[in-house]
Structure 1
Amino acid sequence: MGAFKLARTAYQRLQTLRLPSAWKEEVDLHSVLVRSKPFLDKEELLPVCYRCGTTNPLLSSHGDRCVTCGNAFIRSFLTFDLLPLVEFMLEDGISPDEAMEIIGEEATNPSARPSGARERIDEDAQVLTLDDPADADDALDDPLSSQTAVPNVPVVANRRALRRLSRSEVVPWRPPHAALAVRFFRLVDTSMPVRCGACGHFFEEDEFEMAVLESGRLPFTREPAPGEGSLEGPL
């Protein structure tokens, strides 16, 4: 695959272990052969943080999180590919139920537009203007973008930010046990739909459905798949 730097590290660590004799010779041989390769991993294999855009190494002392902003990587538990999810917290005083009710209000309800906005109808266009230029800039900005630029700090959404988020870009993590709290994730790339299974793990939507159709069982739990036509519901 071209992950030569990662392969070198893996062979070095394998050589520190007590291996079966049938494996030891092969590991020693490949640890020598990989030294003739570049000391780099292919760029297309490197994970890119969906919070800050930093290209990360395949193996990091920070764990499976961004080396720049500390954002934890969320992976599909079917393929372990990186999913375009960034977790955000709710502001104090906002319950998960309230958050689910107000998410996307401004996108679906025209009457929920920011105060100071007025609509002007021209012959050729319908234009939304705002009385205050500062409000105009704020309305066009991503509601959470200013926070994502601050490293190692949780992203916190207030009611105003939740109303501006589209329902299609918010994926709630519903815990498999009642003792755990609901968590919220933003889907940065809405062209890659993501679902959270009843097992508590995330999956890329198309790969999840393909795996269910091929095996007749749910990924990870291996439980029998629900009846035909029920894939659209929560699993």
Structure 2
Amino acid sequence: MNAKPKFLKSIIAILVIVLIPYGVFLAFRIGQQGVFSAQDMIRYPLVFGGISILIVLLIKRYFLQEPLSDFNKTGGSWSNDLKWGLLLTAFYFILFALERISLRSLLNSPSNMELLGLMLEMREKPILLLLWFGPVLWIGVAFYEELIRVFLLSSLWKFSKNLRWILAVILITSLIMGFVHWNQGSYGIVTITIKSFVACWFFYKKRRLMPLVYAHVLYDGLQVAQLLLTYPQD
């Protein structure tokens, strides 16, 4: 395929998969009255994330005519992926501690009432607990977000091997991933952008998707579990 049509198809794919859905989502969140209910926090990530994953894979394979192996270009095993996922999780929590010390007092960090509402309902309804820590966290949150991240990276990196371009793509991708968490305030945007930069750099060096998924599941899951166990009872 010639370079120009290939570039155009990649831009169309990025618009369809990333920019348009994220733009619509941000517009919806900005104009939203109130917060998502606990059921919404289960339903929307699972449905939207699941459908989006399927769309990404189909566009990658049949529209772009690129191999899905782009997401795992180097050899590996589930045990090695898990090891890297654990190391990434540890690094994320180190960043988390440093960010709280250095940035928490400087940036806006609104309370996440949606997560709090879900957490309180999960205490009363075990089915919500199973759904959130199962398919919602694994598919609708972690796998979906990490697949979007590596799709952006692998799509844009194809156009140049120059280190400046590679770093520019990492920065752009990280900013997109940060700003889509607009509802978490400036603190959330900045800290998620920082962690995304780490995730992007890891993918650049290792070219493996699943360590990012494992780290995402562990990082989010451990924080929610800690809140469930320590948040005061009524």
TM-score normalised per structure 2 = 0.23
Q: Which has the higher helix share?
A: 2
Q: Which has the higher strand share?
A: 1
TM-score normalised per structure 1 = 0.23
- Of structures 1 and 2, the one scoring higher in RCO (CA 8 A, sep 6+) is 2
